[in-house]
Structure 1
Amino acid sequence: MLAALTATGLAGLMRGVTGFGGAIVMTPPLAYLIGPHEAVVTTLLLETFAAAPMLPAAARLASRRRLLPLCIGACATAPLGAWILVALDPAVTRQLIAVVVATFSLLLLAGFRYLGEPRRATSFAVGGLAGVLTASTSIGAPPAIIYLLSGPDPAPLSRANLTLFVVVISGSSLIGLFFAGAFGPGQLLLPLVLAPSFALGVWCGGKLFPYVNERLFRRIALTALFTMGLVLLLT
């Protein structure tokens, strides 16, 4: 339990300082501690919990036109991701999580950006990829992070869009996972136990943000996550 509390606390710290990365930090250790099904569900519930206080402000700023195709794509493919999580052997799912962590940590670390024009078809495809990855591994936000933050929108609008999108893909993934039999009411106790640790991490990260070199912190954290993904993949 101490290891799970530590992992969620560090995930909250990452999210509080950078605004993202909670799932990338939290899911791999939890997948090995409690199993991939429980890890994915726990991460999605905690990420939704963390985003909830930001929803009113995000809803006022967000662009419905930009979000709608992303959300439709995510909701359309979340059931497929839920089926993948339930159908795969847990050992294979752990390896899949490690691959996703290593890949997106490297892309974010390298500063990869989408250079094309934001089109509806592209938004739908990005949303679809995010939906599959979120329901199967809980780590589906990075494609949307890369896509939204690379666009022409100002940073506050992009962050608002991302906040709402994370809630939508987390909610649709949880619904898909519930109906796929990945979890039931009995699996909700652990997220409740871990929620204070995650919330404390987010709070500490927010307090540290003005005093931390965000770019340096992000590079160190993503390098550590890339290394962790490789280690988990090879073990």
Structure 2
Amino acid sequence: MQLFWTPASPFTRKVVIAAKELGLWQRIDVKPTTWPLDWGYATVPFTAGLAAANPVARIPTLITDDGVALGDSTLICQHLNSLATDTRVIPTDGGQWPMWALYAVADGLLEAQVAMRAEMLRPDAIRSAGFLQKQQDRIRRCFDHIEEHAVELSVPGGSLPNLAQITAGIACGYQDWRDWLADFRPGRPALSNWYGEFSQRPAMRETEPSDTPEA
């Protein structure tokens, strides 16, 4: 398998953590990508092969062993989950729907964080304060919801985290990494305590974000 990758993307981090937790990381050939800083509001040159594989030209994009290009982190994680032979990050029983419900909130939180990042990269003259506030409000609501559902974040001993738990952890980590994002911890003690422990998982520690090369 081949993965178009960047160290800054929380969606790429989701795929990498899922692969590591499932024991599939060694089967993936990483293809680093570069992104000029105007990627958020203009068409930029793409890393060779990315747009040909995925015309949406977004990361992560995974090329499966069968040559199928999966250009969405949720799809990629579903594919990786299907390759697992033992424990999985996506449940197959009736418990999957509460997991997917929490996942949708955590994934929407990532979308709001990345939307803010793209807007912050715009020149001051075309940056929208209203758009930034809209994303901040969405981020706050999502973190509040995850706090209210913190009991669902607990990972039983000997089990792998599910995809909602992985995504919630990544959202917390991204909020910490970008210094212009507010601290998620005040007023959310359960989430704060959970993340303090979850962030120490090897797959989390090995995938801490860093800025993507521009060229």
Normalised by the size of structure 1, how large is the TM-score?
Answer: 0.28
**Which structure has the higher relative contact order (CA within 8 Å, separation 6+)?**
1
Q: Which has the larger radius of gyration?
A: 2
Normalised by the size of structure 2, how large is the TM-score?
Answer: 0.29
